[in-house]
Structure 1
Amino acid sequence: MIERVPGGMMLIPLLLGALINTFFPNTAGFFGSFTEGIFKGALPFIALNIFCLGTQMDFKVAPAIAKKGGALLLSKVGIAAVVGIIAGKMIGDGVIWGGLSVLAIVVAMNDTNGGLYVSLMNQFGKKEEVGATTIMALETGPFITMLTLGLAGISAFPWQYMVGAILPLILGMIIGNLDKDMRTLFSKGSAMLIPFIGFTLGNGINLTKVYQAGLTGIALGIFVVLVTGGACFIADRLTGGNGVAGIAAATTAGNAATVPAVIAAANPQYAEAAPSATVVVASCVVVTAIIVPILTAWWANRMQMKSEQAQQVQEPAALVRS
């Protein structure tokens, strides 16, 4: 039932955690022990989530898959860096009205909802477009966001934090590729951890401060679909696609809501922006999860009709020549 809500596995536990933190802020300290660990264990849960995702990434990627996935990955990260530079010049590293920050913008644009992408490509795409998610999974976690913020000149992170951010993913990739049984074992670990991550992140949010952030998230979600969708659409067409995969990649991943907390832990200058960024990004998850499937289906049907019309024109011409 919870999965009927877009992003529900993340959003509903996050809301529960936020309700507890808003009305009973001392709950974790009151119980202590393991209960407090569940309330405050965001970083370990996130690390495990990234590790499990890594185990599902196959080193043996066909060239066509690498080409498509690489194009979508680079276009999405590239446009996020460009927008991040512009936003950094305009609003700096603080938080403006509605909880908007450079951190929220870059995080929302960087990470694609892999599950939704695969689902849409299974319905409307080709095999290599489905497999592209193997490459796009490199967006997972805070590493790409740290890299983007660094390349944009907005912020700098110690190299230890940069390496530490991607180590769980790399370790998971190594183990998953060396042992197929381990890959199978951890295949459901990522999904299982999402509600716990949502709950712990919610315990850092006060609902009295998130109303405007939620509205900002809706606007940012539309922006993400238009801007990253446009960039990925062009990249898809340039690599021989019809644009369907590019539109399907214009989402914000559910686990992207975990990234602001990790960034803030690595660089204290983002401590103020992280709570509101979490809410803004979570709103983007919902908005993009609603808009993108509709746009993808519309464009795929349009391409199908165009293909059928072209075929109908070619058939009479072939008969005349014969």
Structure 2
Amino acid sequence: MAVPIKARIEKVPGGLMLVPMLVGALVHTTAPGTGEFFGSFTGALFTGLPAILAVFYVCLGATLDVKATPYIAKKGGVLLGTKVVFALLIGVVMGHLLGEAPVSGGAFAGLSTLAVVAALNDTNGGLYMSLMAQFGRKRDVGAYSVMSLESGPFLTMVTLGVAGLSAFPWQTLVGAILPLALGMLLGNLDPEIRRFLAPAVPALVPFLGLSLGLTLNLTAVWKAGLLGVALGLFVVLAGGAALLLADKLSGGDGIAGLAAATTAGNAAVVPSIVAAANPIYAPAAQSATVLIASSVVVTSILCPLITALWARRILRRPLAAQGAEEPIPDGPGSPLTAHDGPGSPLTVDDGPGSPTTVHDGPGSPIAGHGVSRAGSAPTGQHDRE
């Protein structure tokens, strides 16, 4: 008898990442010596997070097409730039107040510059693409091909360094982005390699979550409490306000900006990588991981609701007030997808019976799964190009 394990896991926001991470954290909390006891391949799961991440970023890079249309490049560039600049400003302020160490006591115990910057710097790609397919212009889906460059620890390391905190050797910065760059090179040189590696991206997500969870103690999760919720609210509300403004100033309607105000599940691995690269961040790493995991859940729930409310407000306006767009062809090379071919992680399915969801292979390409419908759509909104 078949048991719908995957379907049930995906009902949890970011479930493919968060559920295995919770399982790993339970094992590590209740039986921390399990890895050493079994050793061999089982033990490798307890210590193999960097290797799994390296493979993940090579496969992810292969899905990114450098031949994005000018509109996609502009939209993705505006959203990516806004997230980076906003995280930098917050990093400068918090770095001046806190430095590298986390808050040691009181209501904000565990909060750190590392936690906030990492939570702001990475977008839940599956959720963004789903919301754009439902509420936004269809070609806005492809903007995530540019925004995907924020994945991984590179931008967080750069932000922390620019913010005046402890910097990282150039070799570490280059090493953090090399797997992604290698994947991009291979995927753009040979479409067959892209189609071969793309399905591995969602398949690796649960292993990332499990390996990360095997480094966490759940007693720290309890301590995160309302602080983790507050971090998620900050990402959605403050980060969303900055992205909304940038989107509108660049000629958009703000829907794409709000849809990007999330924290990706794979952002939870950034603190451990940063701490491994520079031990001065080690005291903040575990609490930062827990806070970011909380932010993933909170933003995954709130972002669709806020985006849906804003979209309904925008879509009630006359078309002339919104700024009509010229139709976009749907043929090969169309900017409706970031790249072509089977297995493309940015393909919009508008076929018969489709709820206009985004399919990104057998799961989400970025930790965090797509959301089918965040709410009922106003009449005619699916016709937006």
TM-score by length of 2: 0.79
Pair 1:117 & 2:128 matched:
yes
CA displacement, residues 207-242 of structure 1 (integer Å, 9 cap, x when unaligned): 122212243111000001112111111111111110
| Structure-2 change in CA distance of 1:39 and 1:242 (3 Å) | same
- In 2, Cα distance between equivalents of 1:304 and 1:267: 48
Q: Gaps spanning 5+ residues in structure 1: where?
A: 312-322
Summarize the alignment of residues 34-113 of structure 1 with structure 2, pairs less than 5 Å apart. Answer: 34-96=41-103, 97-113=108-124
- Counterpart of 2:186 (choices 159, 175, 186) is 175
2:46·2:215 contact (CA, 8 Å) conserved in 1? no
Summarize the alignment of residues 1-322 of structure 1 with structure 2, pairs less than 5 Å apart. Answer: 1-96=8-103, 97-307=108-318
TM-aligned CA deviation for residue 135 of structure 1: 0.6
2:263·2:299 contact (CA, 8 Å) conserved in 1? yes
Query: Counterpart amino acid of 2:64?
Result: M
- In 1, Cα distance between equivalents of 2:126 and 2:268: 15
Paired position in structure 2 for 1:319: none
Mean CA deviation greater in 47-56 or 281-290: 47-56
Mean CA deviation greater in 167-176 or 47-56: 47-56
- Identity in percent: 56
TM-aligned CA deviation for residue 308 of structure 1: 6.1
TM-aligned CA deviation for residue 32 of structure 1: 0.5
| Structure-2 change in CA distance of 1:206 and 1:179 (3 Å) | same
2:153·2:176 contact (CA, 8 Å) conserved in 1? yes
| Structure-2 change in CA distance of 1:309 and 1:160 (3 Å) | closer
| Structure-2 change in CA distance of 1:243 and 1:157 (3 Å) | same
TM-aligned CA deviation for residue 278 of structure 1: 0.7
Paired position in structure 2 for 1:315: none
Structure 1 stretches (4+) deviating beyond 4 angstroms? Answer: 308-311
TM-aligned CA deviation for residue 205 of structure 1: 1.1
- In 1, Cα distance between equivalents of 2:317 and 2:164: 44
Query: Counterpart amino acid of 1:189?
Result: A
TM-aligned CA deviation for residue 131 of structure 1: 1.1
TM-aligned CA deviation for residue 50 of structure 1: 1.3
Secondary structure, aligned partner of 1:306: coil
- In 1, Cα distance between equivalents of 2:109 and 2:149: 30
TM-aligned CA deviation for residue 309 of structure 1: 9.7
TM-aligned CA deviation for residue 107 of structure 1: 0.1
- In 2, Cα distance between equivalents of 1:309 and 1:237: 16
1:110·1:144 contact (CA, 8 Å) conserved in 2? yes
Secondary structure, aligned partner of 2:67: coil
- In 2, Cα distance between equivalents of 1:287 and 1:213: 13
Secondary structure, aligned partner of 1:6: coil
Query: May I ask how many residue pairs the two structures share in their alignment?
Result: 311
- In 1, Cα distance between equivalents of 2:77 and 2:321: 30
2:220·2:290 contact (CA, 8 Å) conserved in 1? no
TM-score by length of 1: 0.94
